Amino acid sequence: GAGVSQSPSNKVTEKGKDVELRCDPISGHTALYWYRQSLGQGLEFLIYFQGNSAPDKSGLPSDRFSAERTGGSVSTLTIQRTQQEDSAVYLCASSQTSGRNNEQFFGPGTRLTVL
Amino acid sequence: AQKITQTQPGMFVQEKEAVTLDCTYDTSDQSYGLFWYKQPSSGEMIFLIYQGSYDEQNATEGRYSLNFQKARKSANLVISASQLGDSAMYFCAMREGGGGSYIPTFGRGTSLIVHP
């Protein structure tokens, strides 16, 4: 079956431009998560969706970051006025529910480079 | 304070030997879940094994087992009979929280290199 997909796989942009990253979770998965992984680092939690609502936005690093999810499915992460420190791999994951025993299924990530 | 601590930035093991990757966690919740993920150089995160806080038996999945010591708040991953394909980053993660929403937090990872 189809796993989590993300697009684009690579994005190079100039400082100050806006970017949109897309995540298609596994069909039927109600929980969706965005993480950021800088080179050689662990995963930094950004935001979590349960259905279309985001109960936890605590990880968003600044008000330049926003995310939405529509139809309980596709999610987009938008970064406005990108900065060089935004360069990282952005990973999306979904799980069947947000229960404590649900493993996450990860997408391949979007590598963002801000010049 | 770190929720998940992985103290070994890098580990080396000879092929066919066993290796233990350390993970300690910090939570005041009674109900939580512990996970290990593998991230090969390709970048994709792969789920390996899960242990629930109420599970009395250590979890096992093939060559992977989780040495769960609740009182010490440790959840070490044991890989038996290492293979070259086991070379990767390994992340320990914990889901905690009540109200039905368990937000996963991840450790910084351990890089494992398996030598032939």
* Chain segment A21-71, per-residue pLDDT in tens: 999 999 999 999 999 998 877 899 999 998 899 887 888 999 999 999 998
Look-up of token digits 């009395």: B56
Q: Model confidence at A93, in pLDDT bands (50, 70, 90)?
A: very high
Interface probe for A, chosen from B103, B110, B111 (most Cβ of A below 10 Å), is B103
Q: Model confidence at A12, in pLDDT bands (50, 70, 90)?
A: very high
Contacts of B12 (CB under 8 A, 6+ apart): B112, B113, B114, B115
Interface probe for B, chosen from A26, A43, A91 (most Cβ of B below 10 Å), is A43
Q: Model confidence at A1, in pLDDT bands (50, 70, 90)?
A: low
- DSSP track, B61-109: ETTEEEEEETTTTEEEEEE-S--GGG-EEEEEEEEE-STT--EEEE---
Higher pLDDT, A70 or B20: B20
Kindly state the percentage of chain B with pLDDT values over 70. Answer: 94
Q: Model confidence at B104, in pLDDT bands (50, 70, 90)?
A: confident
Asked if A42 lies within 8 A of B35 by C-beta distance, the reply is: no
Nearest CB to A100; choose among B31, B105, B106: B31
Nearest CB to A42; choose among B47, B101, B109: B109
- Residue B8: list chain A partners with CB under 8 A: none
Amino acid found at A19: V
Amino acid found at A108: P
Nearest CB to A100; choose among B46, B47, B52: B52
Q: Which two tokens stand for residue B3?
A: 């929720």
Q: Strands B64-69 and B74-79, how do they pair? A: antiparallel
